[in-house]
Amino acid sequence: MTITLGEFLSELTSNFPLAITVLLTLGTILVNGWTDAPNAIATCISTRSMKPQSAIIMAAIFNFFGALFMTMVNAKVAETIYNMVDFRGDAHEALIALCAALFAIVIWATTASWFGIPTSESHALIAGISGAAIALQGGISGINPHEWVKVIYGLALSMFLGFFSGWVTVKLIEVIFRRVDRRKTYNLFRYAQIVSAAGMAFMHGAQDGQKFMSVFMLGVFLARGQAYTTEFVIPIWLIALCSIVMALGTSIGGMRIIKSVGMEMVKFELYQGFSADLAGVFCLLVASIFGLPVSTTHTKTTAIIGVGAEERMSSVNWGVVKEMVRAWVLTFPGCGLISYILALIFINIF
């Protein structure tokens, strides 16, 4: 099932609930580009391969192309998110619950960003819609365990494969270039890191772009009174719209998070920054192919830790890591609970 751009614009001007849903969805996409996407360029800024403003513009562009290309080629991640929760039943109440979830995600993400904590917007999205679905259905029946388990697989993949890939990648580079004067490799790794950072931004768009597009489609169908839609096709105009909004969010900045991830957690040389980016791209590509909704924040951060740990464990600022892990652990219950409470309140009020 799909909706044309003409149909969407016609309904947007006459369907107030749809307008509110679209506004909130685009708000969460904007926040994602603002608070999550900066992780992709954190290392290339910390190693001074690129100036912050240039890196942000590059990330915005490649986020756009990543979301556009991967959704057209392989939309498995979007399908997983769409089928993860049950918003069937009364379409009006379901739409209110979804709006509550989106509002909760924005609250959670912007609060964390203010404190410079790189939370996972992917996990906030999953927690938000799960909490709202539980409130809507009056229990755990709002969750589809067969799809939700992919979140656990993705979490394990982003943590363990991210760390292992970072460790192995930097080790291989050190072995290959062990007899080469580092001064001679400066330009090589500087340009290589720019390319790998672009790849990270591309894969961020490919992963997170799909997640939010699926929620957008869910909101559109609920606003049209279609609560039982199980299959859908993401139209080109929606891919472009979500990609542009995410790119706009990235262009706003996110220097607090860049500072936490790329400058405070580990001090990198150029080849190490390249290794972390390359490992992150590999992990995100594997996850996207298999339809696993992974956290780009988790993946990039664990790759950075793996690269730093290869040199010596003490080179990693474990205090910063501990703060990030605490934020990640709190995201599922925290954002989920906020969404659950807001959904109950909104359903009773509206």
What are phi and psi for residue 159, nearest 5 degrees? -80, -55
Span 79-86, average pLDDT:
82
The predicted structure's pLDDT at residue 243 = 80
Tell me, what DSSP letter sits at residue 47? T
The predicted structure's pLDDT at residue 135 = 95
Residue 315 has pLDDT above 80, yes or no: no
Q: What angle do CA 135, 138, 139 make, to 5 degrees?
A: 95
Tell the burial category of 172 from Cβ atoms under 10 Å away from its Cβ (0-12, 13-18, 19+).
exposed
Q: What percent of the chain shows pLDDT beyond 70?
A: 89
Render pLDDT for 219-237 as a digit per residue (tens, 0 to 9): 888 888 877 666 667 788 8
The predicted structure's pLDDT at residue 128 = 93
Span 313-331, average pLDDT:
71
Q: What is the pTM of this model?
A: 0.82
More confident residue, 96 or 259: 96
Residue 266 has pLDDT above 80, yes or no: no
Residue 263 has pLDDT above 60, yes or no: no
Contact 78, 211 (CB under 8 A): yes
- Across the chain, what does the average pLDDT equal? 83
* Residues 6 or more apart whose Cβ sits within 8 Å of residue 65: 202, 205, 243
Q: How far is CA 6 from the centre of its chain?
A: 29
Span 129-136, average pLDDT:
94
Handedness of CA 342, 101, 241, 117 (dihedral sign): positive
Q: Record the tokens describing residue 300, joined without a space.
A: 């990039």
User: In whole angstroms, what is the distance from residue 286 CA to residue 162 CA?
Assistant: 11
Q: In a 3-state reduction of DSSP, which class is residue 191?
A: helix
* Side chain identity at residue 312, one-letter code: R
With b for 16 or more beta-carbon neighbours within 10 A and e for fewer, the 288-323 pattern comes to bebbbbbbbbbbbbbbbbbbbbbbeeebbbeebbeb
Render pLDDT for 139-196 as a digit per residue (tens, 0 to 9): 998 898 888 888 888 888 778 888 899 999 999 999 999 888 878 888 899 999 999 9
